[in-house]
Structure 1
């Protein structure tokens, strides 16, 4: 049994298509999606349609909440809230009422079994769509933020766009990285495969120039900012 976990597509359908093609080559039994599907990329509608066609478990991320109910004061730095609200409005204009309803109704956790291992997935932490848990957090901080709410063998999350795998108390905590908007200084798309041996991070090259061109072709409000992330892998 092998499961591919993907997250943080952020409207980058070019990267998503490359990842889905790579998954086809990996003898995967199932795909699970850990949120942030549409916001901050040139093709929110296409990205969402690709995800919905998978007939896979999908959970909500903070950016999915932003699309459906807006960005609230205190959730992002004050100096960028106007800019991000413009991006949110642009994203919403690309989606249908049915798309918005789908995003609004997504659950916030998902549990799967691989052999005798329980895999618990969420977007940021089990209790929050927004909390940031960094790769260099102490073991104690990881236990408190990630591992205390639910008993599992493997804990997976997205949100920070920085892939890693850690082992604590005989259990595994891992971040998927980001399909469409990586922050780890590696511009390739990132996702995770989990089998009975544990999680493995996979990196996938894709046509970044094409993704950048789509930002400008679609008149994305912050095309220069997002294009720089595509090219450098950092915000």
Structure 2
């Protein structure tokens, strides 16, 4: 069953719409959302509308959780100021959808989590952390986000533990082929705020039967995001960083 992988949208509606338009050229039967629909950019409510319309299955991200807890009222700094604003502009239906997301979601041979299988809030951004993450689940395929870095860790059992390698997804189209004895931990990249130096939205399509992930980077109208950020009074640095992919 080909599966569309989306993560870290963060209220960036322009990026999500560009990704969905690009994804229409590929066949997929399911949408798996890896957390953080809200935060940073203004259109969290509209983003959740799109995810619900797609019938997306999802997991909770840290920004999603912060919005729904006392943290959003007590947290200091612009991140929590933005979440408070978004919370006030979120429909009750979308709040209920967000609140119903689990920390992890699992199927036969796969697992989805925002951060690490060891801890949903833990970043997996180096080989040692990836090696530990593979040890926290028996799933062959692990899908995660959180780092905003598009790429995949692959693991193959060796005589003294797993050999772990990393492949970044920085080209317009990237293919990962996973052999029958290997495992993979895949980050499709951030739709709404990439941080790998590539100022393009990221997403991927997983084909379990073929043992492949095809990851894509997509241009979108960053100036449209800039106008929305200015309109609602969010910090200008939020859209300026999009131009650098940082």
If the TM-score is normalised by the length of the shorter chain, which range does it land in? 0.7 to 0.9
The corresponding residue for 1:22 is 22
Aligned partner of residue 38 in structure 1, secondary structure: coil
Retained in 2: the 8 A contact 1:70–1:88? no
The corresponding residue for 1:6 is 6
Aligned partner of residue 202 in structure 1, secondary structure: strand
CA distance in 2, matches of 1:128, 1:99: 25
CA distance in 1, matches of 2:70, 2:224: 29
TM-score, normalised by the number of residues in structure 2: 0.82
Say how many residue pairs are matched: 217
Alignment of 1:197-216 (within 5 A): 197-216=211-230
Q: State the 1:59 CA deviation.
A: 1.1
The corresponding residue for 2:41 is 41
Query: Given the alignment, which residue of 83, 91, 97 partners 1:96?
Result: 91
CA distance in 1, matches of 2:199, 2:21: 18
Over aligned residues, Cα RMSD in angstroms?
A: 1.8
Which consecutive unaligned segments of at least 5 residues does structure 1 have? none
Against the structure 1 CA distance between its residues 152 and 10, is the aligned structure 2 distance closer, same or farther, given a 3 Å change threshold?
same
Q: State the 1:209 CA deviation.
A: 1.2
Which consecutive unaligned segments of at least 5 residues does structure 2 have? 157-181
Q: State the 1:53 CA deviation.
A: 0.8
More strand by share: 2
Aligned partner of residue 191 in structure 1, secondary structure: strand
CA distance in 2, matches of 1:119, 1:211: 34
CA distance in 2, matches of 1:112, 1:119: 5
Q: State the 1:70 CA deviation.
A: 4.3
Q: Does 1:143 align with 2:131?
A: yes
Aligned partner of residue 58 in structure 2, secondary structure: coil
Q: State the 1:177 CA deviation.
A: 1.0
More helix by share: 1
Q: Does 1:165 align with 2:152?
A: yes
Retained in 2: the 8 A contact 1:41–1:220? no
The corresponding residue for 1:52 is 52
CA distance in 2, matches of 1:70, 1:22: 37
CA distance in 2, matches of 1:150, 1:231: 36
Retained in 2: the 8 A contact 1:108–1:122? yes
